[in-house]
């Protein structure tokens, strides 16, 4: 195991993992992810959003820092908390139900540090029609072999260039908690800062779409139950209210070509 927070040892990489449960919908969970990270350098920061998992894992030897929220604070808040605690040059955000190998980490980091104006990179993301709130093309693993500038990066796995992120006062907007539209919102924030996000051809990970894609999803958010439909409807309204002026008068096309056949994710929001 590699601890990177020892005296006089500069932390070069941070891993942020929001943890709500043991990912019953997936063959992978926080325990298997911590096993994956055993031999990968970087500090591990867990944002626990439930008593059950916190009580069992608070003293896990691979966890360097943690925050415990006694209620589920939502993904945007969890990411922000982790970023505020991170000391790495690069910051990786990972779902607890990810299986990841060292090569994927090193490849994402390499792309992040060398691509023009890159502030966020990830293995999957989208070209979007913001005005109509639709996906034009979803870039899934194995469907591209070069980095592509995109409008948003899928939130289950991505890496942040922390210096650029903080320098331009970027922050995940908590009004889109507990979930949905936070990725699109960040994509627009990044473009307004004259920065870029890219999907990159990284393949050494596994992820199964989970509960957030279930039509009958109900989320316990700050102690109250909210439905997937309710979250989508309200966050759609918030997204339009925040960005409507920009969507009307701004060229939002990414620099990358859209000549490929459109492939939208079947269960995209909107």
- 2 pLDDT more than 90: no
Burial of 126 (0-12, 13-18, 19+ CB in 10 A): buried
Q: The whole model's pTM is what?
A: 0.88
What is d(CA 162, CA 179) in angstroms, rounded to the nearest whole number? 22
The string of pLDDT tens digits covering residues 155-188 is 999 999 999 999 999 999 999 999 999 999 999 9
Question: 269 or 255: which carries more pLDDT confidence?
Answer: 255
pLDDT of residue 196: 98
Q: Which residue has the higher pLDDT, 260 or 62?
A: 62
- pLDDT (0 to 100) of residue 246: 75
Q: Which whole number is the average pLDDT over 108-117?
A: 97
pLDDT over 60 (residue 48): yes
For residue range 76-90, list pLDDT tens digits in order: 999 999 999 999 999
- pLDDT confidence of residue 131: 83
213 band by pLDDT with thresholds 50, 70 and 90: low
* Cα 63 to Cα 142: distance, rounded to the nearest angstrom: 32
Domain boundaries, the chain: 13-249
Among candidate residues 26, 37, 83, the one with its CA nearest the CA of residue 60: 37
Q: Please check whether the domain covering 13-249 is classified as CATH 2.30.110.10.
A: no
Res. 8: pLDDT tops 50: no
**Nearest Cα to 177, choosing from 71, 98, 74?**
74
CA nearest 239: which of 182, 190, 187? 182
Q: What is the largest CA-CA distance in the chain?
A: 52
Could you tell me if 206 and 28 are in contact, meaning their C-beta atoms sit under 8 angstroms apart?
A: yes
What is the structure's pLDDT at 248?
59
The predicted structure's pLDDT at residue 118: 98
């Amino acid at each position: 195991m590699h601890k990177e927070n020892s005296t006089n040892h500069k932390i070069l990489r941070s891993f942020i993992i929001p943890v709500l449960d043991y990912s019953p919908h997936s063959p992978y969970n926080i325990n298997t992810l911590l096993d994956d990270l055993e031999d990968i350098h970087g500090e591990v920061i867990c944002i626990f959003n439930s008593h059950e998992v916190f009580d069992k894992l608070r003293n896990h030897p691979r966890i360097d820092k943690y925050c415990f929220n006694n209620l589920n604070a939502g993904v945007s808040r969890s990411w922000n908390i982790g970023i505020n605690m991170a000391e790495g040059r690069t910051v990786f955000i990972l779902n607890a139900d990810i299986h990841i190998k060292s090569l994927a980490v090193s490849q994402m980091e390499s792309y992040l540090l060398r691509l023009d104006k890159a502030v966020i990179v990830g293995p999957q993301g989208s070209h979007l029609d913001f005005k109509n709130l639709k996906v034009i093309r979803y870039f899934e693993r194995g469907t591209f072999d070069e980095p592509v500038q995109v409008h948003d990066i899928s939130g289950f796995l991505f890496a942040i260039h922390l210096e650029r992120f903080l320098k331009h006062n970027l922050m995940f907007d908590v009004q889109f908690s507990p979930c949905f539209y936070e990725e699109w919102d960040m994509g627009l924030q990044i473009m307004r800062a004259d920065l870029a996000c890219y999907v990159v051809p990284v393949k050494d990970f596994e992820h199964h779409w989970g509960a957030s894609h279930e039509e009958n999803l109900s989320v316990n958010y700050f102690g109250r139950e909210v439905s997937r439909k309710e979250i989508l409807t309200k966050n759609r309204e918030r997204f339009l209210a925040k960005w409507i002026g920009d969507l009307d008068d701004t060229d939002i096309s990414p620099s990358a070509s859209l000549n490929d056949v459109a492939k939208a994710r079947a269960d995209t929001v909107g």
